[in-house]
Amino acid sequence: EAGVAQSPRYKIIEKRQSVAFWCNPISGHATLYWYQQILGQGPKLLIQFQNNGVVDDSQLPKDRFSAERLKGVDSTLKIQPAKLEDSAVYLCASSAAGTNTEAFFGQGTRLTVV
Amino acid sequence: GESVGLHLPTLSVQEGDNSIINCAYSNSASDYFIWYKQESGKGPQFIIDIRSNMDKRQGQRVTVLLNKTVKHLSLQIAATQPGDSAVYFCAETPYGQNFVFGPGTRLSVLP
């Protein structure tokens, strides 16, 4: 079974630029998550999708972050404009049955904002 | 690959010894818990889970213990191997809500 795919693996941008990350979840998984992991900390949820609808985006900084999952499969996370404090690993995860079930993580995208 | 958790609490154990990693969780309403392992440059990997109606669950070389009275979770790894070196996170969730991850513990296995 293929795992969660993310791209790119690494990205370096200057502050105030924009960036986008892509995620392809495990086939058949209805729930998709984006997490932000700052170095030295545990992952923090940014947004959760159930199919193509947003279930929880309470911790997403909506003034600069946006995410979509238009066809209920792939998802993109965008930051515009980026700030220095956005430097982190952005992890995508998917699960078959939503909260209270195991989530499978991708390798993440390491973003460095300079 | 890049490092995960440069300033995390670290547990160092000798290869072959047993490891115990502890986690204090915050929400008394949490009823599902997962331990994840994260190697450098990789995403978190599921190890074992436990629901609040249990106080112990065993997997292959791993055991999770749950003490709801003091809101404490532990992960025991038997016969620790070099491949067990990683950062370990506990995650908790109240039913219907999303996971909250703990700060993590780095396990270092000494030869």
- Region A19-24 average pLDDT: 98
Q: Is residue B1 part of a domain?
A: no
Model confidence pLDDT, tens digit, residues A29-82:
999 999 999 998 999 999 999 998 999 999 999 999 999 998 889 999 999 999
Q: Is residue B31 part of a domain?
A: yes
Given CA atoms B84, B88, B94, B95 in this order, what sign does their dihedral have? negative
The secondary structure of B27-54 as a DSSP string is: -TTEEEEEEEEE-TTS--EEEEEEETT-
pLDDT above 80: residue A1:
no
pLDDT at residue number B8: 78
Q: How far is B45 from chain A (nearest CA, A)?
A: 7
pLDDT in tens, chain B (111 residues): 333 344 678 999 999 999 999 999 988 999 999 999 999 999 999 999 999 999 999 999 999 999 999 999 999 999 999 999 999 999 998 877 788 899 899 999 998
Q: Is residue B3 part of a domain?
A: no
Copy the structure tokens of residue A100.
């209270």
Q: How far is B43 from chain A (nearest CA, A)?
A: 4
Residue A33: list chain B partners with CB under 8 A.
98
Residue B8: list chain A partners with CB under 8 A.
40
What is the band of A102 on the pLDDT scale with cuts at 50, 70, 90? confident
Q: Is residue B4 part of a domain?
A: no
Nearest-CB residue to A40 (from B5, B31, B97): B5
Q: Is residue B48 part of a domain?
A: yes
Q: Is residue B96 less than 8 Å (CB to CB) from chain A?
A: yes
- What's the domain range around B49? 10-110
Q: Is residue B5 part of a domain?
A: no
